[in-house]
Amino acid sequence: METLEKILLNTDVLAGMDGKVTETSVKMKLPQFDPELFRGKHVVVKGCAPTWAVMLLEHRLEGIASKLSFVLYDGQEYPIY
């Protein structure tokens, strides 16, 4: 069985200059986010961002990442697919 490369993706990629994930920062950063960098990998999304922003980021990875999960501050990993 092949082991997938696991990559941690912090939601900070969607943050603005002030370090906060806002509607404005997501509108600017999400189109620049290249999901192809994660093709065929196990992507673990982590960070403090509004749920809707995390969902948009995960949607960009759908069909590209082989496995996608989310990790909370308790360290527990929750599979998305």
Tens digit of each residue's pLDDT (9 = 90 or more) over 30-65? 999 999 999 999 999 998 899 999 999 999 999 999
Residue 75: the pLDDT is 86
pTM above 0.85, yes or no: yes
pLDDT above 90 coverage of the chain, percent: 85
The rounded distance, in Å, linking the Cα atoms of 56 and 22 is 13
Q: Which pLDDT band holds residue 1 (cuts at 50, 70, 90)?
A: low
DSSP-derived pairing of the beta strands 77-79 and 42-46: unpaired
- For residue 37 the two structure tokens come to 């960098």
More confident residue, 43 or 2: 43
Instruction: Say which residues have a Cβ less than 8 Å from residue 40's Cβ, sequence separation at least 6.
Output: 4, 5, 65, 66
